[in-house]
Structure 1
Amino acid sequence: MNPRNHAQVAVITGAATGLGAAIARHLAQKQVKLALLDIDEKGLQKIKKELPEDCAIHTVDVTDENQVRKTVQKVESHFGSIDILINSAGITGQTNIQSHQVQEEDLQRVFDINFKGSWLMSKYILPGMIQRDYGRILHIASIAGKEGNAGMLAYSASKAAVIGMTKVQGKEYAETGITVNALAPAVIRTDMVAKLPQEQVTYMTDKIPMKRCGTLDELANMAGFIVSPENSFATGFCFDLSGGRATY
């Protein structure tokens, strides 16, 4: 399939705010048709007003396999196909605590949203991509998944799992016309980061050689390239967006 012969269709999770919303705005400018998913119905309604009329929104809990399966079916039925999947839904969970203070319930919730949700979305979207011999999947990971952030065990470990999944899927589908990559930002100025304790944010930004947070525009621009038809030879890779913190 030549992806340039038709308008691209992208599914973005966690699209109501933050990274997901920024990527949605960017792709809309590239004439990509959008299906935006989030558990925040009001947030989805708000972002939809900024985007083309054909943008579809779906309120869904990405940790619920039945909801994910039905939502993917609705999107495929509406648009005919899905070319791009961007897994941006994520939470930090409890932060600024040491590992022995982590509660099992919080650990499980963070893993369910950050890792399981990304896996479920890819599980149900990949078969259509395989059938069409084309697809772009981007899992939003984190520098915490590469290096580990003290005080953020659940988040760091869940994002490390996302990176591991990316490497596996990149190899599994390398001969199908599908690329699977991850993006590991350092601190990006979002509402989620704004809610973190200041000492946690300071700990993270102090490790960045540029000594600043990344911007949503910088992230959206890189994400847009990763899921574009032009990025056809990079797969199973974790792209860096860390202001020099990670150079490997």
Structure 2
Amino acid sequence: MTGRFQDQGVIVTGGARGIGLGIAARLAAEGARVAIWDLAPEAFDVDRAGFEPAALLPVDIADEASVAHAAEASLARLGRIDVLVCNAGINGPVVETVAYPLETWNRVLAVNLTGTFLCCRAVVPHMTARGYGRIVNVASIGGKEGVPGISAYTAAKAGVIGFTRTLARELATTGVLVNAVAPAMVETELLSQMTPAHIEASRAKIPMGRFLAIPELAAVVAFAASPENAFTTGFTFDATGGRADY
């Protein structure tokens, strides 16, 4: 598979494994030169991934200095940044709001929401100067609906959707398009952070009766990040098996 991202410079956060790795592999297969940002880059396995990243950087996306350094290093390695996929995130525990620890709440919002803001802010000046860019922020169906027991996560992902809309309107005439994707639950190792009851309740909400597969989400991201997507910005693409109808 080649084509849409030939010679483009792409950053994927949280790309060493799981969803991020699937997205990075899809874009690389279509010709992208990919810089992976990850808190644990040692988790990247080139044999499992099927491609060699142009850069593999240790990054804490919730830390402003770490993000700024990674953006500079990625630009030096890639030569240009055409695409940013903000995928890195954490779930946090499944706990009712009245018992949710403040420290954990702050960390979930710092990674999922503030991290998305910091990554976007770091690359937007370069994209606008070139007159081209595609940003895709990975949100969640939880950000549209709200899900009992994961208040910090759903609040953060709702924030990502709102932030995406705002940034898209700010950049609408610059050639830089900003969209989000809202997946239903994806079967990855992050399920280990959730209770069996929460997992089954999430599955039961999906009319197709199954969880989302990583390649399916990667395909949606690939369109939103591609030059083919030329007139859609500020939108949140659905990937929920029929759960969301707006």
Q: Which TM-score bucket, shorter chain as reference?
A: over 0.9
Task: Report how far residue 54 of structure 1 moved.
Answer: 5.3
Q: Does 1:76 align with 2:75?
A: yes
**CA deviation digits over 1:8-45, x for unaligned, max 9?**
1110000111110000111111011000010113113x
On the 8 A contact 1:48/1:55 being kept in 2, the answer is: no
Task: Report how far residue 61 of structure 1 moved.
Answer: 0.6
Task: After the TM superposition, list the runs of 4 or more consecutive aligned residues in structure 1 that deviate by more than 6 angstroms.
Answer: 3-6
**Structure 1 spans left out of the alignment, 5+ residues:** none
**Structure 2 spans left out of the alignment, 5+ residues:** none
Alignment-derived partner of residue 58 in structure 2: 59
Counting matched residue pairs gives 244
Aligned-partner Cα distance in 1 for 2:48–2:35: 14
Alignment-derived partner of residue 86 in structure 2: 87
Task: Report how far residue 50 of structure 1 moved.
Answer: 3.3
Alignment-derived partner of residue 172 in structure 2: 174
- The amino acid of 1:220's aligned partner reads A
Q: What SS class does the counterpart of residue 124 from structure 2 fall into?
A: helix
CA 1:50/1:208 → structure 2, altered by over 3 Å: closer, same or farther? closer
Alignment-derived partner of residue 159 in structure 1: 157
Task: Report how far residue 6 of structure 1 moved.
Answer: 6.2
On the 8 A contact 1:16/1:47 being kept in 2, the answer is: no
Aligned-partner Cα distance in 1 for 2:182–2:91: 14
Aligned-partner Cα distance in 1 for 2:31–2:4: 12
Aligned-partner Cα distance in 1 for 2:63–2:82: 22
Alignment-derived partner of residue 232 in structure 1: 230
What is the RMSD computed on CA atoms of the aligned residues? 1.6
Q: What SS class does the counterpart of residue 210 from structure 1 fall into?
A: coil
On the 8 A contact 1:130/1:176 being kept in 2, the answer is: yes
Written as runs of structure 1 = structure 2, the 5 A alignment for 1:21-170 is 21-44=21-44, 46-47=45-46, 50-53=49-52, 55-95=54-94, 97-170=95-168
Task: Report how far residue 49 of structure 1 moved.
Answer: 6.8
Aligned-partner Cα distance in 1 for 2:176–2:134: 6
Aligned-partner Cα distance in 2 for 1:159–1:114: 7
- The amino acid of 2:33's aligned partner reads K
